[in-house]
Amino acid sequence: MTTHTIEAAPAARPKAMAPNRVQGGLLDPKMLWKSLPDALRKLNPRTLWRNPVMFIVEIGAAWSTVLAVIDPSWFAWMVVAWLWLTVVFANLAEAVAEGRGKAQAETLRKTKTSTMARRLVGWRPGAPGREEQVAAPLLQQGDIVVVEAGETIPGDGDVVDGIASVDESAITGESAPVIRESGGDRSAVTGGTTVLSDRIVVRITQKPGESFIDRMIALVEGANRQKTPNEIALNILLASLTIIFVFAVATLQPLAIFSKTNNPGVPDTLALNSSGVTGIVMVSLLVCLIPTTIGALLSAIGIAGMDRLVQRNVLAMSGRAVEAAGDVNTLLLDKTGTITLGNRQAGAFVPLTGITPEALADAAQLSSLADETPEGRSIVVFAKQQYGLRARAPGELDKAQWVEFSATTRMSGVDLHDGQMLRKGAANSVADWVRSQGGRVPTELGELVDGISAAGGTPLVVGQVIEHEASVLGVIHLKDVVKQGMRERFDEMRRMGIRTVMITGDNPLTAKAIADEAGVDDFLAEATPEDKMALIRNEQAGGKLVAMTGDGTNDAPALAQADVGVAMNTGTSAAKEAGNMVDLDSDPTKLIEIVEIGKQLLITRGALTTFSIANDIAKYFAIIPAMFVTLFPGLDLLNVMRLHSPQSAILSAVIFNAIIIVALIPLSLRGVRYTPSSASKLLSRNLSIYGLGGIVAPFIGIKLIDLVIQLFPGM
């Protein structure tokens, strides 16, 4: 006889992170140093031309270098040095972001060992086929391989025969093994994972060089990161602004020549020589006018957005998917396992008239000790927690005869040595048992059972026989428990302007009860794959972006239709191919986090763009007066910072322009903190913090740099 001592469920074990997983946070100086060689390699014009803003800065730095060689001076070489540093710092931002992804890819590469596959030729169900050894990279789509305990799965595929325990820690970082079996929604396996027990036959679904790990490595390294539509649009805007400022600065030379001709008494200065405006000063002005800050950080922001998803074990197939997550209007969430815990749990003991709750709880616990189902264990724990009843082991009850739960009887219970018999189970089963023992079933029981069912719960009835008299004690209310904190999270979604829809196969009555408790905006009951598709299309027809999760083959059409389709890693290959994200932890609630990360990406880009544009305004007040005050004395009114000299003013602005890029790298990688609020509030916050900050910071920074420059003789 098995011992059935039941205690409270232990706290969930923290999930192990994958080895060498790089966490988000402040910038590591070691990472800066390690990324410097990559930043220098990115100085190649064939690489840098993809970033028009920084490409113009590099051309300006090269031209200034030539001018400094022709007409050398300490000022010229200092400006040249800081112009080149501006380009290097911009490349460094992208290199650091990519470097973080490369560090994460180190672990993934370890899974790509020189595995030999056991390919089966001529295999079909019932026919073992002929086995041959072949290198894993040579496997073709459709090949059949066999993998046994202790062997590495050679490629992505679906289990077509057998069942096995698989260690996926190399991919997910989760140390607990998972079960993979043929048929159903848990048949997909990933190359590089290890079979721990039994034997499975796998049909390879990948093409050579396009395995899950290959794609994951390329994506986290940023090698295959495609620019998103919003990012492309912003790049076009930055390029347009850069071209406008190039023409604006180019007109300064003839303007200066004309002004100097009409004012022959004006002496030559740093900015004005016999030909007009010096080339190095023109380049300095151009670099400080164009939006170099956001131009330098734009790629890093996009890479970091995907990096934050990888840190949460989510693989985004494209940057477009991450960005779309930030614009999602409707969230489709499965009920079981997402909104609720999935297993029904005891929520209340409802006694009949004349029966005390304590007596019902004691009988319910005793009759459930032999019930190893999750529902039975929850009854024992609930009685212990709510009524202080100790979870008794069957061995402690002398001569007790235990009746284990079975699907046939739909009851469990115990026959005690004093003649008392207890049963707990489905209402009809227990009612029939009470009648068979000569007892009567009161009409009150039917009312209680119907009331619990109407509320979306599951009623279990407790009956007893004591001193040869059979009776019903009451009803146990089982309910699908909503996960803690879900209502608060849905409230956050609502504040973001996102509509949440619960999808379930339950009847409308049960679905409404769960939806009301969880706080979702709407629900779809008795949902079929066709219903999901129709709901997504209706939402999209109204101009909304839709996100959903799924793991089965029947979810694949809806995942493909959704703007953000998150497939579970435990799901089928069809689901993973249809979605544009894969959750390696197979946690459906992570869809909410994905939306928050997408919004954080958009907010970070908007905040730094606001800062960059506002940042340029202050730099005008440093350079313009310094350049033209000798020609136009009235411009001295704009010299609000009262900088030491024209030379120090221009140099201070150029130095600040370079340093601010490095200072903002941590923010671009970590992201601006997102708090759910309306679009108007987010805009107000951006303008007040990053807009105003972008104006104030240069005034303070340039002035401090000017004070430092004054400390050096000859400057």
CA 409 to chain centre: 46
Residue whose entry in the numeric block shows the structure tokens 């008494």? 265
User: Using CA atoms, how far apart are residues 528 and 538, in angstroms rounded to an integer?
Assistant: 15
Task: Check whether 2 is labelled as a binding-site residue.
Answer: no
The whole-angstrom separation of Cα 22 and Cα 37 is: 20
Q: Tell me whether residue 194 is annotated as binding.
A: no
What burial class does residue 292 get, using C-beta atoms within 10 Å of its C-beta: 0-12 exposed, 13-18 middle, 19+ buried?
A: buried
Say if residue 407 carries a ligand binding annotation: yes
Q: Are strands 276-277 and 272-273 parallel, antiparallel or unpaired?
A: antiparallel
Task: Work out whether strand 340-351 and strand 469-482 pair parallel, antiparallel, or are unpaired.
Answer: antiparallel
Distance CA 475, CA 69 (A): 93
Is 410 annotated for ligand binding?
yes
d(CA 429, CA 423): 10
616 is catalytic: no
Of 480, 477, 456, which is closest to residue 341 (Cα–Cα)?
Answer: 480
H/E stretch holding 253 reads: helix 252-262
Q: What's the burial of 514, exposed, middle or buried (CB within 10 Å: 0-12/13-18/19+)?
A: buried
Q: Are 380 and 349 in contact (CB under 8 A)?
A: no
Q: Is there a binding annotation on residue 375? A: yes
- DSSP assignment of 139-190 equals --TT-EEEEETTPBP-S-EEEEEEEEEEE-HHHH---S-EEEESSTT--EE-
Q: Report the C-alpha gap between 120 and 629 in whole angstroms.
A: 83
Q: Token pair of 171, please?
A: 């991919």
406 is in an annotated binding site: yes
Beta-sheet strands, E only, within 268-380: 272-273, 276-277, 314-316, 330-334, 340-351
Q: In 542-642, which ranges are continuous DSSP H helix?
A: 556-561, 573-578, 590-628
Question: Residue 688's CB: how many other CB atoms inside 10 A?
Answer: 10
Give the span between the Cα atoms of 319 and 597, in whole angstroms.
12
To the question of whether residue 259 is assigned a binding role by annotation, the answer is no
Annotated binding residue at 409?
Answer: yes
Q: Are 317 and 559 in contact (CB under 8 A)?
A: no
**Which of the residues 158, 161, 334, 506 is marked catalytic?**
334
Q: Which of 102, 108, 599, 54 is nearest to 299 (CA)?
A: 54
Run of H or E including 656:
helix 646-670
Q: How far apart are the first and last CA of the chain?
A: 92
Residue 555 marked ligand-binding: yes
109 marked ligand binding residue? no
Beta bridge partners, 500, equal 331
Q: Tell me whether residue 408 is annotated as binding.
A: yes
- The greatest distance separating any two alpha carbons of the chain, rounded to the nearest whole angstrom, comes to 124
Residue 512 annotated as part of some ligand binding site: no
- Pair type for strands 546-550 and 564-568: parallel
Is 645 among the annotated ligand-binding positions?
A: no
Coil, helix or strand for 340?
A: strand
- H-assigned helices in 49-159: 52-70, 74-110
The tokens describing 212, both together, are 């899950």
Q: Using alpha carbons only, what angle is made at residue 110 by residues 106 and 115, rounded to the nearest 5 degrees?
A: 155
| Separation of alpha carbons 592 and 589, rounded Å | 6
The CB density around residue 328, as the number of other CB atoms within 10 Å, is 25
Residue 570 backbone dihedrals phi, psi, to 5 degrees: -80, -5
Going by the annotation, the residues of the binding site for Mg(2+) are 551, 555
Going by the annotation, the residues of the binding site are 371, 375, 405-412, 424, 551, 555
Which positions are catalytic? Answer: 334
Going by the annotation, the residues of the binding site for ATP are 371, 375, 405-412, 424
